[in-house]
Amino acid sequence: MKSEPSAYSIDDLKRDGTTSWDGVRNFQARNFLREMRAGDKVLFYASSAEPSGVTGIAEVSREARPEPKDATWSMVDIRFVEKFPQIIPLETLKSTRGLESMVVVKKGTRLSVQPVEKNEFDTVVKLARGKTRNSSR
């Protein structure tokens, strides 16, 4: 999930504990929300930041349901899991072996909700914990 830190950051989620993730106004991103299940882990991504990148982990705590004001759109609840010691910048994601197919590293991908494969998730977590080397392609 992507958010601009000025709108809602990993620190905001840590403070709040949980939040409803609403306001998604793209059909493909909405459909990704609808596929989420309680317990699914989420990479929290700071967009339009210096640098943009993954800042931590959240977890789906309540599955998709219609937004109250417009049932065309869906929302989920997420809860705070972990803030990474350092942001994992987009440039690092782009240059890390095994993340070549990750949606966020592809040119022109701007969705606020994107799928992440388990191996991609695990690689990002290892990067955050310093357990893997950044290997240029």
Q: Where are the domains of the chain?
A: 2-128
Q: Is the pLDDT of residue 136 over 60?
A: no
In this predicted model, what pLDDT tens digit does every residue of 98-125 receive, in sequence order? 999 999 999 888 899 999 999 999 999 9
Task: Tell the residue number behind the tokens 């942001």, with chain if given.
Answer: 87
Mean pLDDT of all residues in 4-20: 97
Q: Residue 105 and residue 108: Cα distance in Å, rounded?
A: 9
Q: What pLDDT does residue 132 have?
A: 61
Q: Is the pLDDT of residue 55 over 90?
A: yes
Whether the model clears a pTM of 0.85, i.e. scores above it, the answer is yes
Q: What pLDDT does residue 110 have?
A: 85
- Three-class secondary structure assignment of the chain: CEECCCCCCHHHHHHHCEEEECCCCCHHHHHHHHHCCCCCEEEEEECCCCCCEEEEEEEEEEEEEECCCCCCCEEEEEEEEEEEEEEEEHHHHHCCCCCCCCHHHCCCCCCCCCCCCHHHHHHHHHHHCCCCCCCCC
In this predicted model, what pLDDT tens digit does every residue of 67-86 receive, in sequence order? 999 999 999 999 999 999 99
Task: Tell the residue number behind the tokens 């388990």, with chain if given.
Answer: 118
Q: Residue 44 and residue 78: Cα distance in Å, rounded?
A: 10
The mean pLDDT value of the chain amounts to: 94
CATH level 2 (architecture), domain 2-128: Roll (3.10)
The more confidently predicted of residues 25 and 134 is 25
